[in-house]
Structure 1
Amino acid sequence: MQNVLIVGAGSGGLLLLDLFQNLEFMNVTAIVDTDDHAPGILRAKELGIQYGPDWKVKLTSELHIIFDVTGNESVFTEITNVKPAHTVLIPGSVANLLVRLLQENESYIKRIREEMHKQRLIFDSIDEGMIGIGENGLVDFFNRSASKMTGVPIEEAIGKIVSEIIPLSKLPRVFDSGRSELNRELILGNGIKIVTSRYPLSDHTGKKIGAFAVFKDITEVVALAEEITDLRKVKTMLEAIIHSSDDAISVVDENGYGIMVNPAYTRITGFSEDVVIGHPATADINEGESIHMKVLQTRKPVRGVHMRIGENNREVIVNVAPIIVDRKLRGSVGVIHDITEMRSLMKELDRARTIIRKLESTYTFDDIFGQSSEIKISIEQAKLAATSNLPVLLRGETGTGKELFAHAIHSGSDRKFNKFIRLNCATIHPVSLETELFGQTDGDSQNANMKQSLFKEAENGTLFLDEVNELSLSVQRKLLRYIQEGIIYSTGSERPTKLSVRVIVASSKNLEKALHEGKFDEELYYALNRISIQIPPLRSRKADIPLIIDHLLVKLNQQFGMNVEEITEEAQKWLQQYNWPGNIRELESVLSRAMIYMDSGKVQLELLDVTKSLTSSNQREENPFLHEKSTLTSIMDEYEKTILETALRENDGNKSLTANRLGISLRSLYYKLEKFNLV
């Protein structure tokens, strides 16, 4: 530490004082000036530093440096004569030079600060987000647009690992590779879609010092691009949609002349485009008036009109609506439903449903295989349930065998010689479910009393309702009334019907969550929960897999007419290592696929057979179809769950490695695992 005395408290002395205050190795013991109001004296008063008019009283043996900034040579000479020998005296000329240099330095620093402030204003005013990291992967630059897009405040982002701010960030990769990546699309954690360019940063020696990314929110750009899509492409798309419809579609202009028909129109009516396009709308009618002309006159839609059209005099239902653009009538569009085909399909569907519902229960408790404690508990509970007539709630993941348990309970009860009726509530439209279950009494409907209620069909037997959580609240309350009172009310009737039906329900969903969200009736939940049986997933009883495989091989041999005698121990152990998200149903699918594609004449399933089959089952179809009840949220949840299971399996269950592999925080991983019951 150097002790310093400043003689002269003008602007030069003030600069020296401010400079030394910021240097840890310089200690200003005092500043002297005959002017008690000199700038340096005033600053010394603020800082609590000694000051005064006489420098002589400030001379001590502990003083190392004296700065003379008075500009008075006599003062310099006098100080020289009396200062301690070891004390260095800086003359006024040198001190003034130092002062000038400090002034220039201060000026440069001020300019640099101003430039940095301007640059920061520029960076914060542009729409593009900017983020920079150092060689340690920590964020050292983050502008306002980046904060806005990510939802992370600037002060919280600085100093964090970049993956905590943008989980899928590839900046560390750019730093490691030293190669730029331009115009890459990325979706942020909050769903904002961006396009980003990433650049490595190097100093003048070529040493890598970090990486930098510039990105822009393209959500609005994409939306704008969709709005200004070429009209010709839109027209082509609309024509493709119209031509792909199985319903006949015809379009006429404001004068009633045909301008467009689709192939289904020609198939149903028998009229080609040449006969319709450019001709009046009455050209395809055998009897009755033109609905197109009626709609053009009234400018109102007409729906559900029975007509006969075409050369084959086919009976159809016609819906026609006006086409109004900018409040001007431009024509009308008609959709024709062929009642003949619809009725034929409905008869086939009813016939299939009748066959399925009339199939007798053929499964017993002997068909449930397993020696693990989990499955034994479930079997014992089911056997007890078979001795009573109380409702039973079967719970478990998809594919665990809930329907098998329902069959077994029915077969073990005193109702085993009566019907076992099954209904998957997720496959029937909610509007139709009530009629399916309780029947309908409506003299005005063409379908009145044509369908017997499932409760009536299951009289003295068992009614199994799979995915009971899909029932609407109104149907849930009618089901609750039956459980409590033993009576049902058909739709449209106020007369109760007393029946004796054993009700077994199942659900793969979280009923407590549905109850909390108001989607499941509380009283029904407690009524069903009196006998609740949890069927364990296959992954929690992997020791049972060999027994299940032996049973499935016998079943599949009968189905395929094959004679596969056994599965190798190596293949069996490999199957036991898999977590089976689809449970027994997935295991059966894998074995059946392996048997179908195994070499002809083989009687033993080997490791290669099952690995090929399992890999094939995990691949997505090129043209997948959506389940009737599927939503975008449910599909994305299932896909996310599959990814989590795969990542956990690849990392042997290590949560930290899994989080790093997926580019998310450990906290986010635990949240997702809990969400999908994977903890």
Structure 2
Amino acid sequence: MRLEVLCEDRLGLTRELLDILASNSIDLRGIEIDITGIIYLNCPDIDFETFRDLMAEIRRISGVKDVRKIQFMPSERHNTELVSLLTNLPYPVLSIDLKGAIDMANHAALKLLAKSEDEAMGQLISHLLPSFNFAKWIEGDITRQKQAIVIDGLDYTMEILPVYITGESNETVLASAVMSIHPTTHAMTTESLADSNTLGFEHFVGLSNRHKALMSQAKKLAMLDQPLLIEGETGTGKEMLAKACHNRSHRASQPFLVLSCASMPDDVAETELFGHAPGSFNHQHGHKGIFEQANGGTVLLDEIGEMSPHLQIKLLRFLQDGTFRRVGEEHEVHVDVRIMLQLVTI
């Protein structure tokens, strides 16, 4: 039961209202006071006779103009409208508490994060978006901030905004933070192009649906560790695409090495790929192959179709478990390398 009491601004009037509720053994769940001369009361439902007597008692209070039953408290209506608005926004919005945990996420945010509401509530934002350091943000200047992030291989712009509450003494206290996430448009990426020396997907320009689909697929595949085959005609930028995929992955800080397999004899190609032991080929010192040199990073093999079947079998075994033997050695070497292959199509 919610009541709206229209009244004058008189000292002690609210106290008399509360005394009437107490004398009738009615609990008070909430009270709101409007400076225009309205007091809102939230109480449990009561039987009709008690309600009739209560209304009469309230009307007898000096300064009370009228009292009536309403459906919602003002704060309930405002909160419901706000939650409905946020829930149905087309872009993701999240509310984050001061510990960095999510306490509200709209439908678009849950869909983007692939989480149910129960799974998302209480999750640390740093676990769901590792590229954003919430602890560093809240320990710093705590200002409105934008940052480029990657979710499921696609580019987004994240904006976080601090939420302050102003008390009666006009002091502001940080209450929480609101985060919104928007797909990054081409115009946004070109703003930072001049400041970036790393080859990324922003260097690929195209307007066709086929180009957009290719870039979207490449961005998703870039986040994986599985081998990647890139096919295309000569001069279409296959190596640039491979480099962009490497720079987008978690291996970006590690080496990216390229080896052309075209017209290369088997013994030379095997040595370049796997290396050789000391004493082999009249060399006193051993030689690390490209896989060892790129350990932790990415190797792009160009013109893989020109490689002999014998070497392709050895390469296939390496792709299965990441182990190989240097030429002239018996023990196996294990490395962590992502392999990308490119083929020229006609």
User: Which TM-score band applies after superposition, normalised by the shorter structure?
Assistant: 0.3 to 0.5
Calculate the TM-score normalised by the size of structure 2. Answer: 0.41
Structure having the higher strand fraction is 2
TM-score normalised over the length of structure 1: 0.21
State which structure, 1 or 2, has the greater radius of gyration over its C-alpha atoms.
1
Select the structure that is richer in helix: 1
- Larger RCO: Structure 1 or Structure 2 (Cα < 8 Å, ≥ 6 residues apart)? 2
